[in-house]
Each structure stands twice: as structure tokens, then as C-alpha cells.
Amino acid sequence: MEREKYLELINVSKEYREIKAVEQLSLTVYRGDIYGFLGPNGAGKSTSIRMILSLISPDSGKIKLFGKNLAEDRYRALSRVGALIEKPDFYRYLTARKNLEILGKLSNVENLQQKIGEVLELVKLNDRADSKVKTYSQGMRQRLGIAQSLLHDPDLIILDEPGNGLDPQGQKEMRTLIKKLNSERGITILLSSHILAEIEQVANRMIIINKGRKIVEGKVKELLNGNEVNLSLEVSDVSKAAKMMQEKYGKEDDPEIKGNKLLVNVPRDEIPSVISHLTKNDIKVFSVVPARTLEDYFISITGNE
């Protein structure tokens, strides 16, 4: 049985004068997804998100939220959506709790004080709830932005560059929070980011767009793996292993050697036989790591666009 479609873009286009910001873009986000939305600067990601949130209207095509046509039932469709767009804006001279009170009243959130306590605890800001926002770090403000997006119990949240401006520890905390929202709260997430490792570590499905057009869409693991895999093999005798791999596959280019590691490209279904072949010839294999990253894949398919 096919999962419920929470978000669909069907041949959506948007043009600014003579610039095609988005061109015939189609994508599908299913219930339960952490869906990565990738593309270089100027690819059309922000324009697409603004159309999804009905901040601007598409020139053509159709947007559906939870099966409802956004153009025909905007209020009901968006009532189940939360969003964090770039850097969140708050009243810096007010506390986090007071900011959420104001936003909650505007959205007619029921049991507001209880809900504020829940979302602040979820994003680990409950101990700083009564501190003024001007005392918050960038990472804390980002987490407060997510708390705000959760006040009305959305089924889908859209996060636009949530790791923007965060240090490595802040980015790690953001990834942990995103996975927690998805796994423990059952929230479907559309994650737009230029931090490729962020998508690679948290998303189960993704799309890559360039110049407003879809380049590829699918499951992250399948797109990264493909038919062949770049492997980094840590072995006991790297020179002997390189010679054996060159003889086995008969490729013109010798496998690349980096220290005691061998970098080699092999068909995915032959990985077990590669390891077996080396070990049978008295070469110890200490580790096998796929070397192909989302960054490699991203560059390979957008570099010529």
C-alpha cells in the first residue's frame, strides 16, 4: 500500500521577468519522510518553499498539501504545516516564553502554557525559557524557531537551512532534534539545506534541483550507492591488494593508495567477493567504508548543468 502523500508539487513553474526561478518542478513527500531538498545557490529552493507556504503564487502547475489543492483550500491545508524559514525573527528584548505566548495567541493555540512548556522541553530550552532572546546563541534561536513551528501540533514542518550559522556542535544537536521529531513525534519533515552532510545523515528521501529543474529524486541510500560503489579498504598489505584488484578487474587505472587504505570502484554486488578474494590471499581487511558521499554525488550530477 502506498504511503499517504503529504506534499505534492506537480509541474510547478515560477518566473520573475525573464528569469525562470522554478521550471516544471514535480516532487512528492510521503507521510513519515525526512525529505532532503538540495540544490546550489539560485537553484529555486527558496522560491519553491515560498510557493508551498502560499507566500507567493506559482505561474502554473499545482501544489497539494495532504491531498488538498493549495489554491482551493489554503487555510485548511496550511493549518497542519509548521515552518522555519532561514533565520527566525523574535522580539529580542522579550523572553522565549513571552515570544511563544504572543505567537501562540495569534494562532489560537489551545492550552497554550502547557504547550509552550512541552515544545521548550522538546528543543531543550526549558531551563532558559525566561531568559531574553537577545542573550541566546544562534543555535538557541534556531531551536526556538523550531519550538515556535511546533506550537500548533503540525503534521509537516518545513525547515529552510536550520543549520545555518551553527558551529559543528550546534549542527549535531540540530540533526539529533530533527531525527527525534520524526521518530518520536511522527512529524514529516521537508529539510532544505546546503549542508550536504546534514541531508546524508538524516534524510531517507531527497531531491536535487538545479536552475529550477529537478535533476533527480529518490531514496538517499539508493542514489548514493548506485550500481558501483567507491570503497575505502583498510588492509594489511596495500601494495599487494592494489595489484590484486587491478588484475581482478583489469581496469586501466590502478586503484588509488592513501596510506594503508586502498580506494577502489567496484560493482555493489561484488563487495563480498572482493573481501573474500583479499582474505583468501592472506591480506587482512580491517575496515570497508563506502567512499562515495552525497557531496560527490551532488557535484557529479550538477557540475555540467
- Give the architecture (CATH level 2) of 5-223: 3-Layer(aba) Sandwich (3.40)
**Which helix (DSSP H) or strand (DSSP E) does residue 60 occupy?**
strand 60-65
Read off the DSSP letter of residue 106: H
Read off the DSSP letter of residue 3: P
Rounded CA-CA distance 238/259 in Å is 8
Given this model, what pLDDT does residue 252 score? Answer: 47
Rounded CA-CA distance 181/65 in Å is 20
Query: E strands within 66-155?
Result: 68-69, 81-85
Angle, helix 271-280 to helix 238-249, in steps of 10 degrees: 130
The per-residue pLDDT string of the chain (305 residues; one tens digit each, 9 = 90 and over) reads 678 999 999 999 999 988 899 999 999 999 999 999 988 878 899 999 999 999 999 999 999 999 999 988 888 889 999 999 877 889 999 999 999 999 999 888 899 999 999 999 999 999 999 999 999 998 899 999 999 999 999 999 999 988 877 888 888 888 999 999 999 999 999 999 877 777 888 999 999 898 899 988 888 877 765 556 677 888 888 888 888 887 776 654 567 788 888 887 777 677 888 888 888 888 888 888 765 555 666 666 666 54
Given this model, what pLDDT does residue 167 score? Answer: 81
Phi, psi of 159 (to 5 degrees): -115, 115
* CA 30, 33, 39, 44 torsion-angle sign: positive
What's the CATH number for 226-302?
A: 3.30.70
Given this model, what pLDDT does residue 288 score? Answer: 82
- Classify burial at 297, counting beta carbons within 10 Å of its beta carbon; exposed 0-12, middle 13-18, buried 19 or more: buried
What is the number of alpha carbons within 13 Å of residue 212 lying toward its C-beta?
14
Rounded CA-CA distance 297/176 in Å is 24
262: β partners: 233, 257
For residue 19, count other CB atoms closer than 10 A to its CB: 9
Rounded CA-CA distance 41/47 in Å is 12
- Classify burial at 269, counting beta carbons within 10 Å of its beta carbon; exposed 0-12, middle 13-18, buried 19 or more: exposed
What is the number of alpha carbons within 13 Å of residue 105 lying toward its C-beta?
5
Rounded CA-CA distance 157/34 in Å is 10
Given this model, what pLDDT does residue 90 score? Answer: 92
Angle, helix 112-122 to helix 96-106, in steps of 10 degrees: 130
* pTM of the full structure: 0.77
Is there a contact between 163 and 195 (Cβ–Cβ < 8 Å)?
yes
Rounded CA-CA distance 110/143 in Å is 22
What is the CA angle 24-28-32, rounded to 5?
Answer: 160
Of the candidates 102, 85, 84, which has an alpha carbon nearest to the alpha carbon of residue 93?
102
Rounded CA-CA distance 32/215 in Å is 23
The domain limits of the chain are 5-223, 226-302
